[in-house]
Amino acid sequence: MRKEEFKELSLKETADRVMRSPCKVIGAVFETHAKYIESREGKEGVRKVEEKMADLGYPLKFREMEHFKYYPVGLSDLVIITAKEIFNWKEKDVFEMGNNAPRFSFIVKMLMKTFLSVKKVFDESPKYWRKQFTMGVLENYKIDMKQKYLILHLKHEVTHPLICVFLAGYFLRIGQYVIKSDKITIKETKCMFRGDPYHEYLIRWE
């Protein structure tokens, strides 16, 4: 589907669609989702998301998700989509959710402790993708330290255009950890929801 077509779907139709994905994700991501929602909307906000997920037919309890167990990626993505819907978030809020996720992730903390340079972090990022997701390939396509940019290719059919926004925030935060600059940006320059063969993220800094 094209990005515009998702706007015509109800939340229930969207839920049913994203849950079709065969990909699975490590349970630790649900903790990062819950912590961000609680930081913005309080514990009541976390409860509202759980209730809405149940109404949609895909119940979960954040506290019951096991860190090292794999769950349907659609369940994780639906949390993001549902939170945006019930709290009237904008895309920038979803981006911020993605940008904050690494702060709560023990997997990212391991990456940061082990690899401190820009090149090493992004060379190792594909391995950390595979630790979290059962499908998809993240490629460190190009890094140019002189021209101050890097390009990531994500060869993975994400479930919904909002997840592209979430991932942009996530990848930017990884860059912010290791790139010594206050002027760092990210842009999705190619997107499978626009007919491209993969998602491409361009990170630039000054």
Q: What does the domain layout of the chain look like in residue ranges?
A: 3-101, 114-205
Question: Tokens in use for 23?
Answer: 């990909």
The CATH architecture one would assign to domain 114-205 is Alpha-Beta Complex (3.90)
- The most distant pair of C-alpha atoms in the chain lies apart, rounded to whole Å, by 52
Q: Are 86 and 48 in contact (CB under 8 A)?
A: yes
Nearest to 160 by CA among 8, 14, 45: 14
Give, rounded to a whole angstrom, the gap between the first and last alpha carbons of the chain: 36
What residues does 138 pair with on adjacent strands? Answer: 154
**Using alpha carbons only, how large is the chain's radius of gyration in Å?**
17
Q: Give the per-residue pLDDT at 119.
A: 81
The CB density around residue 104, as the number of other CB atoms within 10 Å, is 17
Tens digits of pLDDT across the chain (206 residues)? 888 999 999 999 999 999 999 999 999 999 999 999 999 999 999 999 999 999 999 999 999 999 999 999 999 999 999 999 999 999 999 999 999 998 877 667 666 666 567 888 888 888 889 989 999 999 999 999 999 999 999 999 999 999 999 999 999 998 888 888 999 999 999 999 999 999 999 999 99
The CB density around residue 144, as the number of other CB atoms within 10 Å, is 10
Nearest to 99 by CA among 186, 2, 193: 186
